[in-house]
Amino acid sequence: MSYEFDAIVIGSGITGGMAAKELTQRGMKVLVLERGRALEHQKGYKTEFVTPWDAPNRGALDRDEMARDYPVQSNQPFGQFQWSNKDYWVKDSENPYVQSKPYAWIRSSILGGRSTLWGRQVYRWSDLDFEANKRDGHGSDWPIRYKDIAPWYSKVEKYIGCSGENLGLAHFPDMELLPPMELTAPEKHLREVIRAKWPERYLTVGRTVNLTREHNGRGPCNYRNICSRGCSFGAYFSSLSATLPDAQKTGLLTVKTDTVVHRIVTDPKTGKASGVEVIDAATGKRRIYTSRIVFLNAGTEASVQILMQSADKRNPHGLGNKGEVLGRYICDHDNAAAFGVIPGMMDRYYYGRRANGIYMPRFRNLKGVRDEGIDFDRGYIMQGGSMRMGWADMAGDGDDFGADYKKRLANPGPWVVFLGGFIESLPRRENRITLDPTARDRFGLPQLRFDVARGENEEKMALDATQEAKKMLEAAGAQGVMSLRVGATPGVTVHVQGGARMGNDPMESVLNAHNQVHGVPNLFVTDGAAMASASNVNPSLTFMALTVRAVDYAVAQIKAGRL
């Protein structure tokens, strides 16, 4: 058969961009299909240099517009959705889905996907994560271990540029790191107090893809903390700043935006993927692009949807769905936090606006079984940060007015410090997404139906994380410590994983150890859908390492004549 392309990559985000870069640099002619609109690095960041006083409505969002068009996207708890990047997210009003239980499907609408909008934290998983399913019986065993992915972590880290501090902990593996960003005065104080009182707990600066020095032609972070607008300096890693431009340099990349993928087309004789059927978002016209291999990187939920929509005679319930596990075992991260005011240090401030926070590796159940006195499985990590209160925080305080009032508001207020637990959700069969039998989207495709909920284990961890965060802050002298639950709705923390999990048994998994779909060996899935569990560690670095590993395997198989 004559193919138009050697490879088709569905999606242009963190993993799609990485797949395109790796495939083209290995001499393959690649087509990238992106559902969102085109966005050009640098020139496309229209709001990047808009000052606060020049922002529409001084940066306030239109409440009527949010309720009408962005009820899901605008309710993200960590401030990702802003006036400056509103057009980077999908309009919920145009992209409906069915919620059997409350679920926040966070989606972008641009080339580069959420790689322009992500929180940029990168960490390696350890065997504490890869062995967890086998050890405690939740979900099914991972087909790989840390040693299988460690060299691919290194390759990705050297390319994308990660800053941070190595601690030499087995459950928090060291990385290829650029110099770390500095902790603030109260963060250093908090670290010292915690180490003295809890020697097994380590507070460090976050490991982030915000560069602390020039790296691979991209400039260092300017400490503006407006990353979600897009960064013309390329000071953080994204598809637009790194992988797609590098793929373009090969002369082997074609990109199609505003292109909705309907299904992966398979050869009825061999069962292999032969191409992808798409819908032009502007005209509604359909066509099929053909290729030797396909990489599916549309994002966890969308990748599962495409696999389901690709059902054929060989695979009546969706590709790779022999055991009817496709769409099941959806898991993500819950979140519970505490914050308080640290007195003193009023003569200390910070340089610029550090686009990073603090991090504490997991300290619960480190042997893989429950610690004494702990009534939940697995564990959580802590992320947080600090800042000085500003005039907006203090305007309603006090009974002064006139000159005294102005003078007080002209000075920064006290330090606020917060800690939030990122809590692993267990992989459960009943947590699933399906194609709704009746509801359709504007392209005539089935809407996704979500039936995902938190469990008792997550609730217990959230309570423990809140209590421990409060204890640590109070030990550091924090006053007025309060707790906050911000991740109770599944999906809202964005770290959604599962649905097409890797495994050894085709009846219990959708993918094998090399991210190949069982029964469709030239179809690879390397985004969050591939994960067999969620860990409590930010997952993006693992997604990218799996992608590079799968590309290497796929190219080797092609050269050997097996694909």
Structure confidence at residue 424 (pLDDT): 97
Q: How far apart are CA 501 and CA 488, in angstroms?
A: 23
Q: Three-state DSSP class for 205?
A: strand
Q: Specify the pairing of strand 432-440 against strand 446-451.
A: antiparallel
Structure confidence at residue 504 (pLDDT): 96
Distances 385 to 30, 168, 418, 503, 523 between C-alpha atoms, Å: 41, 22, 6, 37, 41
Tokens matching residue 492? 């809202």
pLDDT digits (tens, 9 = 90+) for 238-251: 999 999 999 999 99
Tokens matching residue 290? 């053909």
- Cross-strand pairs, 215: 218
User: Which residues neighbour 554 within 8 Å (Cβ) at sequence distance 6 or greater?
Assistant: 7, 293, 295, 514, 522, 524, 563
For residues 121 and 207, is the Cβ–Cβ distance under 8 A? yes
For residues 487 and 77, is the Cβ–Cβ distance under 8 A? yes
Structure confidence at residue 181 (pLDDT): 98
Q: How far apart are CA 367 and CA 132, in angstroms?
A: 10
Q: Three-state DSSP class for 110?
A: strand
Structure confidence at residue 93 (pLDDT): 98
What residues does each domain of the chain span? 5-121+232-331+431-445+496-559, 165-218+333-427+452-485
For residues 218 and 161, is the Cβ–Cβ distance under 8 A? yes
Residue type present at position 210: N
Distances 240 to 54, 231, 250, 289 between C-alpha atoms, Å: 26, 10, 15, 24
Q: How far apart are CA 323 and CA 64, in angstroms?
A: 45
pTM of the model: 0.97
Q: How far apart are CA 549 and CA 559, in angstroms?
A: 16
Instruction: Write the DSSP assignment of 440-465 as a string of letters.
Output: E-TTSPEEEEEE----HHHHHHHHHH
Structure confidence at residue 297 (pLDDT): 98
**Residues of the chain scoring pLDDT < 70:** 391
For residues 60 and 83, is the Cβ–Cβ distance under 8 A? yes
Q: What would the CATH number be for the domain defined by 5-121+232-331+431-445+496-559?
A: 3.50.50.60
pLDDT digits (tens, 9 = 90+) for 447-461: 999 999 999 999 999
Residue type present at position 359: Y
